[in-house]
Structure formats: C-alpha cells, structure tokens
Amino acid sequence: MPKENLEDLEQTLGVTFSDKDTLRQALVHRSYLNEHPDFPLGHNERLEFLGDAVLELVVTEHLYQHYENPEGELTNWRAALVNADMLSDLCRTLEIEPYLHLSRGESKDKDSKARKYILANAFESIIGAIYLDQGWEAAKTFILERVLCELPRVLKERLYIDPKSRFQEAAQEQVGVTPSYKVLSEDGPDHAKEFVVGVYLGKELVAKGSGMSKHEAQVAAAEAAIREKGW
C-alpha cells in the first residue's frame, strides 16, 4: 500500500499544496486504476504532460540566461538534466516512490527499466501539480532547487555526452585502446527481445549491459564500464 501521509512528502518537496488531491493525483499510475476502478482520482498522465513542458521551459530559460554557449551544447546539457535517468534518480532521492499508487505487479517490479520511466514520469507529474496548485514561480523554484542544482555535476562528469562516446574517449586516453562491443546473448520473442552485450578493451571483458535493442544494450554496457573502471 502506498504511504498516505502527504504532509511528510510536502515537507520533503518544500511545497504545501492548497489542494492535496492535486498532489495525490500526481502519484497515481494508470495501472493502479485498473485494479481500483472506484478510486476517486484519475491517473497522472495529464499532469506529466504539463510538468514536462514546465520543466523544459524553466531549464531552457535558465541555460539561456546564464550561459553563452552555442545552441547545440545547451540542448545537450538540457537533455542530460531532464532525461529519465536523471529524473528517476531525483525521484528516488526525494523518496517519492513509497507514495506512488501502483498495481500489484508494478509494485513488485522495482528494478526494471519500466520502473525508471514510472519514477521519471511521476517527477514530471509533481512539477505539473506544483504549477497547477501554486503557480509558475513555485514550480520554477522547485526546478531550480531540485533539478538545476545537478548542472555542475552534469558538466563536471560530462553526462551530456552519451556513455559510448565517454567510454571511448576515456579508454583511448587511459590505455590507448578503442572499445569493441559483442552480443553475448539474445532472449525472448522477436517483438520483445532482450540483448546482452559485452564491452571489451582488447580481449578484456570490462562490463555487460542489457536492453531491448543492441544499441540500448551497448549504452548500458558502456555505462557499466565507466563505473567499473572509475573513469
């Protein structure tokens, strides 16, 4: 069962809602309503749609006002700040997950790729809820304090560069070798295959990654390799 004491969540978010149901709806995943058709609120997808737009505008405005870099660089920085990996991590950091209304199946599936997107979407839904309930300035303050505070780390760790490129640059710099990728296994039907890919430096298997496409698995392997090597 999801936590129901929204006051604790409000304190964590730093926002006190006038209409608690606006916040509560931001926490409702579509799957929950399939099992609880009498639940008085709808799911959070419309709030997510709104929050996504507010988030992108606040981040874009901040980057435009504070950096003179070319459009392409700013676009990459923004993408690193608002992607599912970043937002799901922020959702976990704020301990929003225990408040989510999920189906029994989704509740058990804690480490899947699907859960990452559920968390990222919930974070955007909360931004939409803050905007609806408290207005533009409150939503902007929340994003500045909770999302844009990650910009220094994004720039320092070069998270705006895709993991394959980051690992290749680091490998060439550290050991003078270009990484190679090899599919280690394929499982599942054609419409839902899962690939496991290994990334190698010469003959050394550095790390493995999985995904629903070869490219997705390669990216996951590169991310794991960066962590493994401490690069």
User: Using one digit for the tens of pLDDT, what is the confidence trace for 49-106?
Assistant: 999 999 999 999 999 999 999 999 999 999 999 999 999 999 999 999 999 999 988 8
- Domain membership of residue 133 (yes or no) is yes
Same domain flag for 136 and 176 = no
52 is catalytic: yes
Q: What's the token pair of residue 72?
A: 């392409």
CATH of the domain at 182: 3.30.160.20
- Domain membership of residue 47 (yes or no) is yes
Same domain flag for 145 and 79 = yes
Same domain flag for 95 and 148 = yes
Same domain flag for 141 and 173 = no
- Choosing from 48, 52, 97, 106, which is the catalytic residue? 52
Residues 199-228: b if buried by 16+ CB within 10 A, e if exposed: bbbeeeebbbbbbeeeebbbbbbbbbbbee
Query: Of 156, 190, 212, which residue sits at a domain end?
Result: 156
Kindly give the interhelix angle for 163-174 and 214-229, rounded to the nearest 10 degrees.
Answer: 40
- Domain membership of residue 71 (yes or no) is yes
- Domain membership of residue 30 (yes or no) is yes
CATH of the domain at 46: 1.10.1520.10
Same domain flag for 141 and 190 = no
In this prediction, what percent of the chain has a pLDDT beyond 70? Answer: 99
Domain that holds residue 220: 163-229
The 8-class DSSP code of residue 124 comes to: H
Same domain flag for 168 and 132 = no
Return the closest-CA partner of residue 73 out of 153, 151, 157, 160: 160
| pLDDT at position 105 | 83
- Domain membership of residue 223 (yes or no) is yes
Give me the number of domains the chain comprises.
Answer: 2
Same domain flag for 59 and 135 = yes
**Gap between the Cα atoms of 157 and 72, Å rounded:** 18
- Domain membership of residue 1 (yes or no) is no
Average pLDDT of the chain to the nearest whole number: 94
- Choosing from 48, 97, 106, 124, which is the catalytic residue? 124
Q: Identify the burial level of 138 via C-beta atoms within 10 angstroms of its C-beta, where 0-12 means exposed, 13-18 middle and 19 or more buried.
A: middle
Same domain flag for 11 and 118 = yes
162 is catalytic: no
**pLDDT tens, position by position, 115-141:** 889 999 999 999 999 999 999 999 999
Strand partners, 196: 185, 210
Same domain flag for 41 and 63 = yes
DSSP class per residue in 138-186: HHHHHHHHHTGGGHHHHHHTTTTS-HHHHHHHHHHHHTS---EEEEEEE
Query: Of 130, 156, 182, which residue sits at a domain end?
Result: 156
Same domain flag for 37 and 87 = yes
pTM above 0.85, yes or no: no
